[in-house]
């Protein structure tokens, strides 16, 4: 059986005096022209993951490629968000994962470009990293060679990490 058009397909098998069965399958487009970028909300001074997915022409379902897709990543402000210059989606894959680094808290436009694809742009604004660490101990004086127990409490914007 060959999928001739992208989308979800349902197949039902029936016969006389035998149980019927159903299966749902997704046929992926193999010559996509668009992609999307997904990311977690970045925090200043930390690396954050991005996922780039190939999207079918309907804009809703994933697509796959039979050849590698090299994608150029461009940050409008490399002193705010640092990205790898290129990443590749391998053949038979629908997406790829990469790391970027949030260096500041200003909004930066991340642009994805690849030959034969529609250019994709997304604004990303890292949050400020207001991290605090507090150390505490049950007592403040210990005998020589005695083990001291120290507790560390780390918060990010007032919430425990």
At residue 93, the pLDDT reads 92
Q: Give domain limits for the chain.
A: 25-124, 131-160
Joined together, the tokens standing for residue 84 give 């790898």
Average pLDDT score over residue span 131-156: 86
Q: How large is the average pLDDT for residues 132-136?
A: 88
CA-to-CA dists, residue 126 to 41, 44, 49, 51, 76, angstroms: 7, 6, 12, 17, 14
> What are the φ and ψ backbone dihedral angles of 4, each rounded to 5 degrees?
-100, -20
pLDDT tens figures, 6-43: 777 788 888 888 888 998 877 777 888 999 999 999 99
What would the pLDDT profile of 55-87 be if each residue is shown by its tens digit?
988 787 788 888 999 999 999 999 999 999 999
User: For a pLDDT cut of 70, what percent of the chain falls above it?
Assistant: 96
The reported pLDDT for the residue numbered 118 is 93
Is residue 45 over pLDDT 60? yes
Return the higher-pLDDT residue of 59 and 103: 103
Q: What is the rounded radius of gyration, in angstroms, for the C-alpha atoms of the chain?
A: 25
Question: Which candidate, 70, 85, 81, places its Cα nearest to that of 109?
Answer: 81
Question: Residue 1: is its pLDDT beyond 80?
Answer: no
How much is the pTM? Answer: 0.69
Q: How many CB atoms lie within 10 A of CB 147?
A: 5
Does the domain made of 25-124 have the CATH classification 2.60.40.10?
yes
Summary mean pLDDT of the chain: 89
161, pLDDT greater than 80: no
Q: What is the pLDDT of residue 143?
A: 87
d(Cα 108, Cα 105) in Å, to the nearest integer? 9
Percent of the chain at pLDDT > 90 equals 51
pLDDT score recorded for residue 131: 76
Q: Which residue has the higher pLDDT, 122 or 61?
A: 122
């Amino acid at each position: 059986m060959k999928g001739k058009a992208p989308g979800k397909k349902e197949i039902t098998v029936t016969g006389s005096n035998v149980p019927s069965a159903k299966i749902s399958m997704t046929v992926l487009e193999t010559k996509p022209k668009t992609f999307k970028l997904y990311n977690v909300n970045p925090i200043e001074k930390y690396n954050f993951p991005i996922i780039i997915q190939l999207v079918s022409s309907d804009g809703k379902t994933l697509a796959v490629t039979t050849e590698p897709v090299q994608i150029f990543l461009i940050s409008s402000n490399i002193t705010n968000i640092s990205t790898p210059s290129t990443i590749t989606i391998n053949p038979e894959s629908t997406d790829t994962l990469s790391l970027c680094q949030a260096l500041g808290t200003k909004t930066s436009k991340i642009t994805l470009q690849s030959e034969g694809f529609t250019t994709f742009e997304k604004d990303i604004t890292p949050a400020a990293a207001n991290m605090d660490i507090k150390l505490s101990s049950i007592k403040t004086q210990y005998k020589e060679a005695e083990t001291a127990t120290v507790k560390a409490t780390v918060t990010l914007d007032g919430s425990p990490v």
